[in-house]
Amino acid sequence: MSVTRVLVANRGEIARRVLRTVRRLGLTGIAVYVDADAEAPYVGDADLALRLTSTYLDGPALVEAARRAGADAVHPGYGFLSESATFARQVIAAGLTWIGPPPEAIDAMGDKVRAKELAHQLGVPVLPWSDDPEQADAVGYPLLVKAAAGGGGKGMRVVERAEDLAAALAVAQREASAAFGDGHVFLERHLPAPRHVEVQILVDHHGTVHILGERECSIQRRHQKLIEETPSPAVSPEVRQALAAAAERLASAIGYRSAGTIEFLLDSASGAFYFLEVNTRLQVEHPVTEEVTGYDLVAAQLAIAAERDVAVPAVAPGGWAIEARLCAEDPTTGFLPATGRVEAFTPAATPPVRWESGVEAGSYVSVAFDSLLAKVISHAPTREEATTALARALERLHLGGVVTNRDFLVNTLRSAAFAAGDTTTDFIERHDPPRALVVSDEEVARAAVAAALWRAERHRREAPVLGGLPSGWRNARLPDQRVVFSAGEATLTVTYRYARDGSVRTSAGPARVHAWRPDGIDLEVGGVRAVVPVTVAGSRYHVQVPRGTLTLVEIPLFATDDGAAPIHAGSLDAPMPGVVHEVRVEAGAHVEAGAILVVLEAMKMEHPVTAPYAGVVTEVVVRPGDQVATGAVLLDLEPEATDDEA
């Protein structure tokens, strides 16, 4: 069986990752895209790219694209239709090679309910579960409502009380349908603080199961992984052997082929583990396994699909690898999704880590897709070294524009709890690492001076006449030049004056510009010199500081009236960009504090907007289907009068 032209039925960073190996092996890489992805970097990485007029969940359209491009194989990546046995059969029926497990294996394990039944039959421990909502009491509260056809936290809700079950079922079913094209969900007992440990398997075309170690993926928000590592700091040699044996039994029982992952929940105190699910595809976190084994899992998938032998490493994994998921979201608002333009994105050359990015400077992040922007992977001889390298690489990433979780990731990696390996699934709730950039007043002042002098040097170079004169030169004694910036809620005023010898007197101390370039400035302030990356987008200055990137917004020296009408004090605003999925109230309705008023959908997840206080809805501004930006008025809610006010 020959594989020469591979269509990647996916998008973003995983499409780039698969295409890289495809082209490295001398094969032709083919991409597909919808209009929202027309300028995405992965489209340019492919040898050919075909536009889809529907969605990435349209199996027949993807097969037709493969036929038009002359592809002889399809790689599904992860998410979307990667765990759809129906899509796998459509690919095979078209005479194409499916780069993944047999459809029968996807049926057996891709459906989480059937996977649990089989695991139980094979003697692998499972948590109480049921696909019948009437059995919720038997499963036991708290419980999880989970999508049967996919993962990644989509279609998943924790339910503490019986009266909340119906609403959680409805939301989970809608999210599962939107993300995976299948709204089937089931119930499972919820363990509040286990470790999430998974085993990477690779099964060759002869049926031999190879175990490539375990990964720990316990640091999560909304049941979605943020940081993954291998090996797990909590798995003993005995537990590792037991996990591998359970994974091998499951894979052999279903005739699995290709790469896959068997996931477990681990009680690190007792060593007991419970089967969670099987991901019949490549995982988001597969690079950490590749780093410690030196093995290309995508290349192995291609070889197995072509029925060629694979040379699986016989040596034990070496060193430690950690991956962080850089996402478009705001940790300070409960990790709500964020959208916007990526105005700066320049990874530093050191430390040498692996970047798997779906964006670049200029990319636009919309509400249509998952929030994952990039994965950053470090590999070192020890966990401490890998952690330090990953944190430093994230800090040195010059990043601006869309809000991300970068600073939260750095603070987590640098926390004492992470260093101690105390990484259960409630890590964020228990330890609550700082969710924003931690920067001193002195660093903010230096960044503001860097922005002001970068601005001054740019103006001098753009001057149509007398460009050789120092910035702000006048044939008279005048006040120092002045620039005003905002940094969050703070306002900073920078004053500066150039001297004849090229030095600059600034509000932060004596300074000197050693060199200027469009993307940065070599600047000395107060005797401390550094090359500072600077990116400007409109009035925003993204300035690199030691722990990350600080965004400063230039404030005009002369106030302007933009004519905007004041927002009513009782207005309820959108906490994030998204699409209005549901409006649950009408004008005139009396609502209690905490009642769900509007449901927004963004990045395949639903987010309820609740009443901050009891009151009366006086006006509803939006309708289902409306797309709203952060801060857009959804409705007006007048607080109920107190007895004294009445």
Q: Which residues are the active-site residues?
A: 281
Q: Which amino acid would we find at residue 184?
A: H
What is the rounded CA–CA span in Å between residue 636 and residue 622?
11
Q: Residue 125 corresponds to which tokens in the numbers above?
A: 């421990």
From residue 466, alpha-carbon distances to 478, 487, 497 in Å are 19, 33, 18
What is the rounded CA–CA span in Å between residue 496 and residue 572?
43
From residue 109, alpha-carbon distances to 106, 150, 199, 262, 376 in Å are 5, 11, 15, 10, 29
Alpha-carbon dihedral 387, 392, 395, 397, rounded to 10 degrees: -110
Q: Which of 74, 299, 132, 78 is nearest to 204 (CA)?
A: 299
Report the run of H or E that residue 73 belongs to, with start and end. strand 73-75
- Would you tell me how many other CB atoms lie within 10 Å of the CB of residue 257? 22
Per the CB < 8 A criterion, the answer to whether 74 and 30 are in contact is no
SS3 574: coil
From residue 67, alpha-carbon distances to 30, 72, 311, 358, 556 in Å are 11, 8, 31, 26, 56
Reported in sequence order, the residue ranges of 335-418 that DSSP labels E, i.e. its strands, are 336-337, 340-346, 354-357, 364-365, 372-380, 398-401
What is the rounded CA–CA span in Å between residue 626 and residue 609?
15
Q: Which of 91, 46, 83, 89 is nearest to 67 (CA)?
A: 91
Per the CB < 8 A criterion, the answer to whether 438 and 415 are in contact is no
| 432: CB partners within 8 A, 6+ apart | none
